[in-house]
Amino acid sequence: MKSTYRAMQASQPGILELVERQTPTPGPGQVLLAVEACGVCGADAIDVDRVDPGLQPPRVPGHEVVGRIAALGDGVPALWRMGQRVGVGRLGGHCNQCVQCRQGRFQLCENQLAVGSGCDGGYAEMMLARHTALVAIPEELSSAEAAPILCAGIATFNALKKCGAQAGDTVAILGIGGLGHMALQYARRMGFRVVAVGRGSDIAADVLALGAHVYIDNRKEDATARLKAMGGAQAIVTTIADMDTVSALLPGLAPEGRLVVLNPGKDPLQVPAGLLIGGQRGILGSLTGTPCDNEKTLAFSVLVDARPRIEVMPLVRANEALRRLKSGDVKYRLVLSMEEVPGAH
């Protein structure tokens, strides 16, 4: 094992710098990962923009991490072994002691750090992780393919499982980006009538190829009226931050339909109480999920051949990756590789 490794750290808000760090030794309950790939998520850009410049050492972002176990700390269960390929998502590992953990709600653990903001993440060749955060990666998926599923995949997979719709029901996906393009694939394969609501005609062909039965360009037509004409959506899964757009689409919910919110945005969601009461409609938020949930998501992805559409870039181009993410110049997910990348996938 090398004594040092490369990392992209957020030394000041909005900027990453390439540094060489000393390879750490995992503590009790920890493993050291030799990172192979790390997805680039919108939350990474927020983490980097909001970083505390006084934090020492500076934070390393990234929470869609796939690598191999390079060292084991004391007390790590035999389930995890040297050389095993594993992943880590946004949740940094539950404590197994708090009230939420004792009730089996590990994703709500009160002592869990967010990877990439509360602890160092995967924009690096090495990374420490709690064993309770680890996710086994199926052989059928490459590391670059698996990485986005650990966040964008599980977020949308779990949201669809919670949405209350049944096979044959209409489900609308609002926002066709890194999360939305996974939601379309999962929703189609779960047996829903899938309606994609996005912006622009340039993505229409992609949206239908990914699994949508219907595409509504929100710039050209009234999406709410279109959903009503179809009998309403039993569920709307929203991945966007624009709460005004989300609020405007709420009347498109069928009676007893549910809005599932994945992006908190900055502004409050405006909800007429009469809309909820009159049709017994509901709104719920959906968090990512446990390592077990993540393994189910990966297994389902393999089973139904749902794959993220990715472009792979080398670690040293992480700043460029974040700039492109912010500009919207991504179809549909960027992944950083710890090896040199001759071309995009």
Domain C-terminal end among 285, 300, 323: 285
Beta-ladder partners of 215: 196
Question: What string of pLDDT tens digits covers the 345 residues of the chain?
Answer: 889 999 999 999 999 999 999 999 999 999 999 999 999 999 999 999 999 988 999 999 999 999 999 999 999 999 999 999 999 999 999 999 999 999 999 999 999 999 999 999 999 999 999 999 999 999 999 999 999 999 999 999 999 999 999 999 999 999 999 999 999 999 999 999 999 999 999 999 999 999 999 999 999 999 999 999 999 999 999 999 999 999 999 999 999 999 999 998 888 998 999 989 999 999 999 989 999 999 999 999 999 999 999 999 999 999 999 999 999 889 899 999 998 655 544
- State whether 29 and 116 are in the same domain: yes
The verdict on whether omega for the bond into residue 57 sits within 30 degrees of 0, i.e. cis, is: yes
Confirm whether 113 is domain-assigned. Answer: yes
Three-state secondary-structure class, residue 127: strand
- Span 183-205, pLDDT tens digits: 999 999 999 999 999 999 999 99
Burial of 141 (0-12, 13-18, 19+ CB in 10 A): buried
**On the CB side of 73, how many CA atoms lie within 13 Å of its CA?**
15
- 260: domain range? 153-285
Chain-centroid distance of CA 99 in Å reads 26
Which tokens is 300 given? 């389902």
Confirm whether 301 is domain-assigned. Answer: no
In this structure, are residues 97 and 72 in contact, taking their beta carbons and an 8 Å threshold?
Answer: no
Model pTM score: 0.94
Confirm whether 210 is domain-assigned. Answer: yes
Q: How far apart are CA 227 and CA 76, in angstroms?
A: 50
Confirm whether 146 is domain-assigned. Answer: no
Phi, psi angles (nearest 5°) of residue 12 = -150, 155
Confirm whether 178 is domain-assigned. Answer: yes
- State whether 124 and 13 are in the same domain: yes
Question: What is the structure's pLDDT at 213?
Answer: 98
Confirm whether 144 is domain-assigned. Answer: no
CATH number at residue 22: 3.90.180.10
- State whether 227 and 331 are in the same domain: no
CATH number at residue 260: 3.40.50.720
- Span 38-48, pLDDT tens digits: 999 999 999 99
Confirm whether 172 is domain-assigned. Answer: yes
Counted domains in the chain: 2
